[in-house]
Amino acid sequence: MTMLELPPFITAPSKFMNEHASRQLSKRADAGELVRIRQGLYLPTEVWAALKPWEKHRMKVQAVHELALAPPVFARESAAEVMGLPVVGIPRDVQTLVPPGTPGGQSRRGVRRIMAVAGDPEPWTMFGLLVTRPVETARDLAVHLPLERSLPAMDKLLQRKALPGSPNNTNLVFGEEDVCESAARLPSMAKQRRVLRVLDVADGGSQSAGESRSRAIMILNGFPRPELQKPFHDDRGLIGYPDFDWEEFKILGEFDGLEKYSAQRYLKGRTPSAVVVEEKKREDRLRARGYTVVRWIWDDLRDPRVLVAKLHRAGLPSNAGRRVGP
């Protein structure tokens, strides 16, 4: 959800001069007609209910921005949500930066104040909001989140593609060297090492947050690292690009996000049932080449043991289930 897609807030014409209108909005919220996002800012209940969890957080970020006396700088998951870096899990509070040396780590009225890192570059303006740059955002997620939740953003960063809404006249893409430079500004070696451990296993070949989280589970459970998006052919031509390839074991892995069967940009005019049939034919061609194909969906990632068991049943070895990595 970009800035242009945000539903507009319902608010009094002037919260300072029209106390009657403000009271009326409050009464409509008490009656369940509106949802209060932040003081004086409301959405229709049906609009709020239709938003996905991360879209609701994005609306809270927007509300904090609109009510601030000075534009806040958003960080961590809040910044990632604005700029489109994928994050697994929604923070309880909107996260904003305070200058170095200012007490951080405090939460008040749904906003968590985080102390900025000394020497970090100026924030970017994206979709009208101030945010930490993508490289600092991915770095900070690597420090403060477990691998399953921080790897998707680092993978996306390493795709070296400009994010929508990026400012002009600046470096829009980042690589390993930029992450290392950013990590070096962190105040403790422990935090620096954590970022570098995530960077070490990150791969710009990952195509979705689900694929990244899948790989994090594999890493933490000692599975061999797969090759990503490798092209496969047979005598009929290109078969496709499986998400994960363990060539030594003749095993392929496919993460099926629900969007593949619902979003028009994936359907490309086809019906969901036609996509399912095409996927089955593609899988048959891969099996004909001697590969075992393992498939899983988002629900299988909620409990990592489900994916671990599927990979073991397919014959993929691991380090006896020992969790390793960041």
* pLDDT number for residue 265: 47
Domain ranges of the chain: 1-51, 68-201, 209-313
Between 321 and 273, whose confidence is greater? Answer: 273
What pLDDT does residue 224 have? 96
Question: pTM value?
Answer: 0.87
Q: How far apart are the first and last CA of the chain?
A: 30
Q: Which residue has the tokens 């697994």?
A: 88
Q: What is the pLDDT of residue 268?
A: 52
Q: Quickly state the pLDDT bin for 121 (edges 50, 70, 90).
A: very high
pLDDT band at 278 (very low <50, low <70, confident <90, very high): confident
Cβ neighbors of 189 (< 8 A, separation 6 or more) are: none
In three-state secondary structure terms, 167 is coil
The pLDDT score that the predictor gives to residue 269 is: 56
Q: Is the pLDDT of residue 231 over 50?
A: yes
pLDDT beyond 80 at 322 = no
Q: What is the pLDDT of residues 202-213, one digit of tens each?
A: 999 999 999 999
Q: Are strands 232-234 and 237-240 parallel, antiparallel or unpaired?
A: antiparallel
Q: Which of 25-39, 212-226, 249-263 has the lowest mean pLDDT?
A: 249-263
CATH class of 209-313: alpha beta
d(CA 130, CA 71): 7
Is residue 41 within 8 A of residue 66, CB to CB? The reply is yes
Size of the chain, expressed as the number of residues it contains: 326
Residue 82 token pair: 């604005």
Map residue 295 onto helix, strand or coil.
strand
**55-67 confidence digits (pLDDT tens):** 999 999 999 999 9
